[in-house]
């Protein structure tokens, strides 16, 4: 069995989008997932990339992905990585691929002088929580995540005057 963890490259969009959609289905939110290959290609490989991704290949098959972007800590004065999605296809679970992707992103932080690797997890995803606890992740219980989107985002934007 050959295993390769690598940065995503042009041409990987279809597999990454497929895995994002599989993740959305797993998270019971498939109807909210509207990403297209074109949108992802622009985000990952456009003139000003806004996201990055890694892929794990097992025997040449896309087995897992991590999609992430840089954030900035005003307290540290440097960037960090925010892991938007980590997904391992069911046939490839329990092989340590998620842990290896997290290690790869931690190494990306170390190499570039980034001070943080952050992510969010659904409260009911006990398997992911167990992994994150095992790698030294700490829940940030003093923070509550907020989001504004859809009609509320449009209404908020309209109030800027």
pLDDT tens-digit map of 94-114: 999 999 999 999 999 999 999
User: pLDDT tens digits, residue range 126-153?
Assistant: 999 999 999 999 999 898 888 898 899 9
Query: Is 87 a residue of the active site?
Result: no
Whole-number Å distance between alpha carbons of 57 and 132: 22
User: CA-based angle 81:142:25, to the nearest 5?
Assistant: 55
Second-level CATH architecture of 3-158:
3-Layer(aba) Sandwich (3.40)
For 12, list phi and psi in degrees, rounded to 5. Answer: -85, -5
Tokens of 60: 């040449």
Active-site option among 82, 114, 132, 146: 132
Tokens of 84: 């938007």
User: pLDDT tens digits, residue range 25-47?
Assistant: 999 999 999 999 999 999 999 99
């Amino acid at each position: 069995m050959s295993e390769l963890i690598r940065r995503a490259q042009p041409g990987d969009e279809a597999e990454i989008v497929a895995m994002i959609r599989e993740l959305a289905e797993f998270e019971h939110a498939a109807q909210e997932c509207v990403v297209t290959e074109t949108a992802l290609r622009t985000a990952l490989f456009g003139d000003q990339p806004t996201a990055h991704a890694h892929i794990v290949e097992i025997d040449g098959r896309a087995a897992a992905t991590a999609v992430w972007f840089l954030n900035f800590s005003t307290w540290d004065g440097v960037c960090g990585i925010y892991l938007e999605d980590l997904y391992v296809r069911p046939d490839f679970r329990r092989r340590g691929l998620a842990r290896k992707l997290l290690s790869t992103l931690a190494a990306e932080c170390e190499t570039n002088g980034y001070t943080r690797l952050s992510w969010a997890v659904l409260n009911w995803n006990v398997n992911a929580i167990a992994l994150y606890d095992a790698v030294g992740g700490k829940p940030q219980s003093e923070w509550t995540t907020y989001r504004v989107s859809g009609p509320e985002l449009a209404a908020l934007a309209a109030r800027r005057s």
